[in-house]
Amino acid sequence: MSKLNVEETLRALGLSENVIPDYVSRINKDAGLEKAQKEFIELKELLMEAFTEADLNGTYPVKQIKQLSKKLETLVSVQLETQEEVLANIVYMQEQKKKPATKFLLEMNKHIQYKTYGLKNGFYVISADSQIGKTGWMIQLAVDALVSNDRSNIIFISLDDSKAEIINRFICALAYRIIPKKMTEDGKKLNTQNIPEINCVPSGYSCWDDVQNCFIVDPVTEAIKKKATEVFLEYHLKRRITVVDGINNMASIEDCVYRNKGEKTLLVVDAAYNIDEHYKNDLEKDAKVSLFFKLLPVRYGITVIAIKELSKKMKAKGSQIDEAGERKKDPADIGDTKGSVIWEYNSTAMATLYEYKGKVCVNFQKNKASGRRFTRYYEQEYLKNAYRELDLVVKYGEKK
């Protein structure tokens, strides 16, 4: 069988052009041309049956499509580790007295690095109430994994915000890592007093001046924004950061992972509850979607983080706005996460975010990977800057 015939068959099955070369290479390498010849003859026959069924009866050929999908899966599915390979690795680790491997160094999230072995391969669920800042917090964490690790790459899939908004926020998050003298003298925290507020709007203004009653440009801030944009472009050209938006289902997410995975890959799915899959009820959807995310690390050796929302539980009657006009925010826990029982069962670790006394609190309640008991901690002092990149308008007076 010629290479052209393999490509044509994959194309006829609806695979995108940019993944066909990889699939052809894997088929030729793993299955061999002789086996591929036999398999693709069967694929062609099924394809012709599907066309005939649709043409004669005017109906969608469900049976043939399912058979085609199953047959294609046998050709391109990832080869998982054998039992012998796993056991050999365990024996080697024991004999060499190897320390637990840390996947990502997290310079600005050392507690998460310690408690998760650097977000080791697995499925993590991060949840928070609306407007708490879970997307901003997650972007900061992704930037930490990106900047602190030379061979890392980020796949960020947003199922609600646009690509333009996410990229702008990545640029603003990068700004905090590139400015000079950004660390405190002990080198443990960002020097928040030396960090200008950065708006996440791609425009020529820096902030709002109440005295002049107009937007103004601050040269220092704009220079930082420009530098951060150049840094993001460099990461993009090196294929170390991929941002995807729009409607996505499980198949399109897995296709994106297959095309962009690297040596150390972090996949973030923002607003995971918006995944475009239809089931009989929410319970079935939670079960199958969470299992899908759980199996991605198994198949591809990546770290997966799904960002979810909390249940809209009214913990107090009446207005949820305090006397100063601020929204009341109650502490959250795992029980408030929508579909928590199913998602908790399938996840490696699960956490909730909330605000407490002006600080971001991260409450990890489960971790099957290390067996450590996660506790609440409030050491993420630098994360108050995560909220600054959410501000569309920064007042000049507040900068001083």
Contact 163, 202 (CB under 8 A): no
More confident residue, 269 or 327: 269
Read off the amino acid at residue 282: D
The CA distances from residue 128 to 34, 270, 332, 355, 361, in Å, are: 53, 12, 7, 10, 11
Q: How far apart are CA 192 and CA 125, in angstroms?
A: 28
Q: What share of the chain is helix, strand, coil (3-state, %, to 5)?
A: 50, 15, 35
- Bridge-partner residues for 306, per DSSP? 125, 269
Q: Using CA atoms of 119, 125, 126, 127 in order, give the dihedral in degrees to the nearest 10.
A: -170
| Arithmetic mean of pLDDT, 83-97 | 86
Which range (163-172, 201-210, 338-347) has the least confidence? 338-347
Cβ-based neighbours of 173, under 8 Å, separated by 6 or more: 136, 139, 140, 143, 386, 389
**For 341-390, how does the pLDDT look when each residue is reduced to its tens digit (9 = 90+)?**
688 888 888 888 777 666 667 777 665 555 544 545 544 544 444 444 43
Pair type for strands 152-158 and 241-244: parallel
Surface-to-core class of residue 19, CB atoms within 10 Å of its CB (0-12 exposed, 13-18 middle, 19+ buried): middle
**For 38-80, how does the pLDDT look when each residue is reduced to its tens digit (9 = 90+)?**
666 777 777 777 777 777 777 667 777 777 777 666 655 566 7
**For 173-204, how does the pLDDT look when each residue is reduced to its tens digit (9 = 90+)?**
888 777 766 667 776 666 656 666 677 777 77
More confident residue, 321 or 267: 267
Annotate 118-153 with DSSP letters as a single string.
TT-SEEEEEEE-TTS-HHHHHHHHHHHHHHS-TTEE
Annotated domain spans of the chain: 3-76, 110-399
Give the pLDDT confidence score for residue 332 in this predicted structure: 53
| Arithmetic mean of pLDDT, 254-267 | 92
Which range (14-23, 213-222, 290-299, 307-316) has the least confidence? 307-316
Q: How far apart are CA 364 and CA 350, in angstroms?
A: 6
Alpha helices in 179-218 (DSSP H): none
Quick one: tokens of 58?
Answer: 């005017």
Superfamily of domain 110-399: P-loop containing nucleotide triphosphate hydrolases (3.40.50.300)
More confident residue, 132 or 267: 267
- Please name the helix (run of DSSP H) or strand (run of DSSP E) that holds residue 253, with its range, or none: helix 250-260
What are the φ/ψ torsions at residue 301 (nearest 5 degrees)? 65, 45
Q: How far apart are CA 369 and CA 115, in angstroms?
A: 9
Which of the four pLDDT bands, split at 50, 70 and 90, describes residue 340? Answer: low
Q: How far apart are CA 133 and CA 288, in angstroms?
A: 27
Q: How far apart are CA 202 and CA 167, in angstroms?
A: 10
Kindly tell me if the per-residue pLDDT of 232 is higher than 80. Answer: yes
Kindly tell me if the per-residue pLDDT of 157 is higher than 60. Answer: yes
Share of the chain above pLDDT 70, in %: 66
Q: How far apart are CA 257 and CA 154, in angstroms?
A: 10
Give the pLDDT confidence score for residue 84 in this predicted structure: 86
Q: Report the chain's mean pLDDT, rounded to a whole number.
A: 75
Kindly tell me if the per-residue pLDDT of 265 is higher than 80. Answer: yes
Q: How far apart are CA 254 and CA 249, in angstroms?
A: 9
The closest alpha carbon to 271, from 112, 121, 128, belongs to: 128
Quick one: tokens of 135?
Answer: 């997307």
Kindly tell me if the per-residue pLDDT of 28 is higher than 80. Answer: no
Give the pLDDT confidence score for residue 391 in this predicted structure: 44
SS3 state of residue 128 = strand
Give the pLDDT confidence score for residue 123 in this predicted structure: 93
Half-sphere exposure of 207 (CA within 13 A, CB side): 19
Give the pLDDT confidence score for residue 149 in this predicted structure: 95
More confident residue, 400 or 266: 266
| Arithmetic mean of pLDDT, 8-28 | 70
Give the pLDDT confidence score for residue 4 in this predicted structure: 47
